[in-house]
Amino acid sequence: MQRKHLMAVVSIAASNAGYGQGIQMGLSDGFDRVAQNGNGQPIIAPSDQLIAGLVYDGSSSFGARAQDFESQFDPYDLFLIEDFEITTGASLGVFQSAGFGSVDPFMTTDVPVRIFTNDGSGLPGMDTYTGELTLESAAGTGFFDGSVYVADFAGQCLPPGSYFLVWAAKLESQYGASFFRVQAGESTVGGGQANNAWWWNPGGAVFPGIHEPVIVEIGGDQTGVNYLLFGEPANCSNPCANPDCPADLDFDGDADADDFFLFLDLFGADDPCADLDASGTIDSADFFAYLDLFAQGCP
């Protein structure tokens, strides 16, 4: 009986939920805002650039349910999976996804978001999957403001590659349901397959097969789910360096004396940013490595 109930509300019209009506989520719409998390603390999202995402354009009023329940209902947890690619490393900031819920938004206590590698072996949670968990959003940073779900990766660095984004809202069953708006089409920014969203039910109580394609109606085609992943380009082997010019430590677009003396300061302070060969030790090898980068200059 519980499974039938969950399946019945997997796709639902937003107009019946009372939240997010008429919301259209653009690249910056709703991003430069002061919002409240579940503890009433203000959160100001930084204005980073869009690293990867599928923008919600308002063309669908349906949402895919994704909810991380309290522990006794773990078998019914539902997570969303979307794939994406980035060609340069990025220091990740805020994650967003337009959605709606059936109760007071402040009942959502977090929006856990995880990033897994996509090595072509299947989806996270499948028996065939051989990839790994790469990053997780900072615990406790997630919230829902009534129209947008938000979480923060707090500057964690993601190297270029192919990935799976996995997320849900943390909301107890007594407080209703959480939905994320479906969005068909190609990724707005970043690679990834179109119309390729999946539900993942690790506990197996909803989908005996564990994974099911996200659809908006029984017998319908698979679709996508909107998300935005913001951040700044970064060299993840050395997050202090400009990915377009590793010798440009002050990010002003060229390699000059300011960068050289900045490296000397980092080197003298045993700052991890001076560990250019990623050996775990700051030594003469790093000094000469920077001399080589400095001599090469910027493209």
**Residue 153 tokens, joined:** 């990766």
131 and 216 together in one domain: yes
- Determine contact, residues 81/195, Cβ cutoff 8 Å: no
**Residue 159 tokens, joined:** 């190297």
226 and 253 together in one domain: no
Local structure of 173: helix, strand or coil: helix
β-pairing verdict for 34-36 and 42-44: antiparallel
Structure confidence by residue, pLDDT tens digits, 164-194: 999 999 999 888 899 999 999 998 888 889 9
Q: What's the DSSP call for residue 1?
A: -
Q: Using the predicted structure, report yes or no on whether residue 81 has a pLDDT greater than 50.
A: yes
141 and 254 together in one domain: no
Residue 252's domain comprises: 237-299
Query: How many CB atoms are located within 10 Å of the residue 12 CB?
Result: 19
What is the residue whose two structure tokens read 């992943």?
A: 229
For 227-296, the DSSP string reads: EEEEEEE--TTSTTSBTTBTT-TT-SSS--HHHHHHHHHHHHTT-GGG-TT-SSS-SHHHHHHHHHHHHH
217 and 249 together in one domain: no
Domain final residue, candidates 233, 263, 288: 233
Tell me the percentage of the chain whose pLDDT exceeds 70: 83
223 and 268 together in one domain: no
Structure confidence by residue, pLDDT tens digits, 23-79: 222 222 222 222 333 333 334 444 578 899 999 988 888 889 999 999 999 999 999
Closest alpha carbon to 46 in 120, 153, 125, 201:
153
127 and 213 together in one domain: yes
Structure confidence by residue, pLDDT tens digits, 203-235: 988 887 789 999 887 778 999 999 999 988 876
Alpha-carbon distance of 96 to 143, in angstroms, equals 10
* Radius of gyration, CA atoms only, the chain: 21
Domain final residue, candidates 233, 257, 285: 233
> How many domains, the chain?
2
162 and 20 together in one domain: yes
Domain final residue, candidates 203, 233, 263: 233
What is the residue whose two structure tokens read 């029984």?
A: 218
